[in-house]
Amino acid sequence: MIVNFAESAITTEEELRNIVGSPHKNVVNKTISVIDEHCKNFIARSPLLFLATADSKGHCDVSPRGDEPGTVLVLNDHQLVIPDRPGNKRLDSISNILSNPQIGLLFLIPGLDDVLRINGRATIIKNDDILNQMSLKGKKPLLGIGVDVEEAFIHCPRALNQSNIWNRESWEDKEALPTLMEIFHAHLKINGVEVKA
């Protein structure tokens, strides 16, 4: 059954605020426009970030980026660079940035329920001096995602805490789940592509 979401849609800020309310002033004022020492420390220890982009038409994408802690390079109090290592060549995030530079980042540290959120404007760069500083196992990234930071703030631990994400006892049994290849082949089949095992 297809649901018509428009029938119960919230369409104005006023209607939204009447239901949810307004944030405490400290929640609003915690947002800063610089990469301070606390942000730098968090980024230096984070091996995983999520990169949110959208193209010029508003089509969105979120991409996980994993690397050794400290691989994201903080250039100064207002700029950082994310290495773009060789991958599947889809270039979803990169293509989006070319048409719409606004991005959102979530930095995570394993075992920590707090999340660092950064929003800003991205530029795809090929500056060898910068890329060489982010080499991994002797190989520099093909490209970098330069970010001019507009907002930075620590997000409360509620989501990660309630999800119990770091508690191994809450994890699914891997043997009960389909493998990546099984899912990949099933999705290819939906698109009419048969892969022989």
- The answer as to whether 172 is a domain residue is no
If one counts the domains in the chain, the total is: 1
Q: What whole-number percentage of the chain has pLDDT above 70? A: 99
CA distance 51 to 35: 17
- The answer as to whether 148 is a domain residue is yes
pLDDT digit string (tens) for 19-28? 999 888 887 7
CATH number reported for the structural domain that contains residue 90 in this entry: 2.30.110.10
Please compute the mean of the pLDDT values over residues 55-62 and round it to a whole number: 96
Domain that holds residue 98: 26-165
- The answer as to whether 18 is a domain residue is no
- Judged on CB neighbours under 10 Å (0-12, 13-18, 19+), 82 is buried
- What is the average pLDDT value for the chain, to the nearest integer? 93
- Please say if the pLDDT value at position 197 is more than 70: no
Compare 182 and 46 and report the one with higher pLDDT: 46
Q: Write down the residue that tokens 């309630």 correspond to.
A: 162
> Which CA distances in Å does 181 have to 13, 117, 130?
44, 32, 36
- The answer as to whether 82 is a domain residue is yes
Q: Is 105 helix (H, G, I), strand (E, B) or coil?
A: strand
pLDDT digit string (tens) for 121-154? 999 999 999 999 999 888 999 999 999 999 999 9
At 180 the pLDDT is 86
In sequence order, which residues have a C-beta less than 8 Å from that of residue 102 and are 6 or more positions away? 53, 54, 119, 120, 121, 122
- The answer as to whether 19 is a domain residue is no
CB 103 within 8 A of CB 53: yes
pTM recorded for the entire structure: 0.90
In sequence order, which residues have a C-beta less than 8 Å from that of residue 191 and are 6 or more positions away? none
